[in-house]
Structure 1
């Protein structure tokens, strides 16, 4: 297990939930993440920009195979740094809550 480290960037409620949803998967579609969080496109974009600026989230845009228009799907992933920071933040929260063995 890594070292606990409270992370102000991750701790904001929407960003904490973004990281929590991205942590167990390789990638998620922007629309799926938006719907799971029940936030607007603009709200999700703002929080993703903050996480990306910290090096915690990466995005890839790909053409949608089932579409005739130019719209593309945005896939989001936690980077290795993002996974490490999220895991350390969760450990810090567990320490604060007194739930670590």
Structure 2
């Protein structure tokens, strides 16, 4: 597993949710992600485009029920980047709190 690295591209809330969903599947149709995330089609397309341009998501045209659909999947690079980002977030969560309160003095 790669060294944990905070990834600002993945960290944006909608892109983080997209990566989280895709990390649990071999592929999910664009329409299903659209329904789950609650964005407009154009807003989701922008989020997906950023992840695709980074090489984190692949898009495959499929035909189901005689309709063309987009199947989205994390690439190996995307899975690695998401895993590293998740690990970096977990390190932040697990880090001991080193702040002191004036009430502790």
What is the TM-score with the length of structure 2 in the denominator? 0.85
CA shift digits 1:14-72 (9 cap, x unpaired): 000000000010000000011111111111100000001100001001223x23xxx41
The equivalent of 2:82 in structure 1 is: 86
How many residues of Structure 1 are paired with residues of Structure 2 in the alignment? 95
Within 2, Cα distance between the matches of 1:49 and 1:2? 24
State the 1:98 CA deviation. 1.3
Gaps of 5+ in 2: 96-105
* Gap regions ≥5 residues in structure 1: none
Structure 1's consecutive aligned runs of 4 or more residues displaced over 2 angstroms after TM superposition are none
The Cα RMSD (Å) is 1.2
Cα displacement (A) at 1:97 = 1.0
Q: With structure 1 as the length reference, what TM-score do the two structures score?
A: 0.89
Q: Which has the larger radius of gyration?
A: 2
